[in-house]
Chain A
Amino acid sequence: MLQPGNTLQLTWRARLESHLGMFTAELVTARAARLIDSRSGVLALQTLAAHLRYLAERDPHPALYETGRVILDHLDEETSAARLMVRFEMALLDELGFGLDLSKCASTGRRDDLVYVSPKSGRAVSREAGAPWADRMLPLPAFLLQGGEAGTDDVLAGFDLTGHFLVRHLAEPRAVPLSPARDQFLRQFRAANARSG
């Protein structure tokens, strides 16, 4: 029951607030048993669980919880799982105060043709403004702006984008590297998509 991915109803009881007390746990939604059958499912689960270690204790993040809940329900669908995980990583950065600003071009203010993200500021850059530094810019996959379906390359670009900022803002400053499960998930995703052609 106490497995990553499951939703539990926890009740804490103690005589005084300062006491250690005791939890009773009631299983609300069992997902772990379904997900452990799928290689990508367990890797995604491990990755999400490891990401949550970056949050401070006793600091609620209701929006991230809701995002996580939706994503967990779709982790066994390999194609949508990867896309949703990129969304989760974006939400994690946002919740921790390092959200990317993809609303307009950092240089020109344009709101269309946004195809890059500045690796320093985390702000979107338009094709025209970013052209001279294209080799140093991070590609911005269209699904992060317009939603909808995403191809393999788009999803991998999304992971490169979030990975860059997760390392820069969370992993390196805290000396807590990103979970190896994330790399394994990406390898699995690439291999599965290569097989399916």
Chain B
Amino acid sequence: MSRRVTGPEIERLIQLLARLPGLGPRSARRAALQLVKKRDQLLIPLAEAMAVAAQKVTTCSCCGNVDTADPCAVCTDPQRDRSVIVVVEDVADLWALERAGAIDALYHVLGGTLSPLDGIGPDDLDIAGLVERAAQGEVREVILAVNATVDGQTTAHYVTDRLQGFGIRVSRLAHGVPVGGELDYLDEGTLTAAIRARQPF
């Protein structure tokens, strides 16, 4: 039986850190030790930053992004093309697309995907909010940037159905060879999708 080497406050810190994605109990222990050792440079500023974030972070009532303002910085950015909405499953996907800087458009976070197996239906996602935005008339195109999974594509087909009748172009991300990907290592389905989505060169 291992003996306790720290007080309950540090143990609690370790337990909470271990709940973060990518951190197990051992790495959480290392992170906690680092925080405690660098109390002034790391622990106190981090605690303050987290307290401020906890107080101010909110979900954007328009797109579902998380920010400290509502509407969020993306929705209020005047430089963005307001006629295009990129539909994503999760905030992490929105941030990934923003990191890539691939498009200057607005977003809409669905909050998941339709999954009959897991009992997630249309009412559990923010599809009504998207339809409401589409109905306002300013939107010309909706890009479905959902995962290339069965659940993701089920959601994409459902959203496409719901957007019918608004005169909006609905497109989706291409499926195929990833940059840096070697054909020999790709599955047959991905290769078939890549051949189908080939482009003039």
By a beta-carbon cutoff of 8 Å, the part of chain B in contact with chain A is 116-117, 121, 148-150, 152-154, 157-158, 160, 175, 187-190, 192-193, 196
The complex places the Cα of A46 from the Cα of B120 at a distance, in Å, of: 12
- Flag if A30 contacts B157 (CB, 8 Å): no
Partner of B153, one of A1, A6, A42, A181: A42
Check A46/B116 contact, CB under 8 A, given A3-B149, A36-B148, A181-B154: yes
Partner of A46, one of B154, B188, B193: B154
Check A27/B117 contact, CB under 8 A, given A4-B150, A34-B192, A181-B154: no
Check A46/B189 contact, CB under 8 A, given A53-B117, A179-B116: no
- Flag if B148 contacts A49 (CB, 8 Å): no
Q: B150, B160, B196 — which one has the most chain A CB atoms within 10 A of its CB?
A: B150
Check A50/B148 contact, CB under 8 A, given A33-B187, A34-B192: no
Tell me the number of A-to-B contacts counted with CB atoms below 8 Å: 65
- Sample of 7 further A-B pairs with CB below 8 A, known A6-B189, A32-B150, A50-B117: A3-B149, A30-B189, A31-B189, A34-B192, A37-B175, A39-B157, A42-B154
Task: State whether the Cβ of A105 lies closer than 8 Å to any Cβ in chain B.
Answer: no
Residues from 39 to 78 in A contacting B, C-beta threshold 8 Å: 39, 42-43, 45-47, 49-50, 53
The complex places the Cα of A34 from the Cα of B196 at a distance, in Å, of: 10
Q: How large is the interface on A (under 10, 10 to 19, 20 to 34, 35 or more residues)?
A: 20 to 34
The complex places the Cα of A180 from the Cα of B153 at a distance, in Å, of: 16
Task: State whether the Cβ of A5 lies closer than 8 Å to any Cβ in chain B.
Answer: yes
The complex places the Cα of A43 from the Cα of B175 at a distance, in Å, of: 19
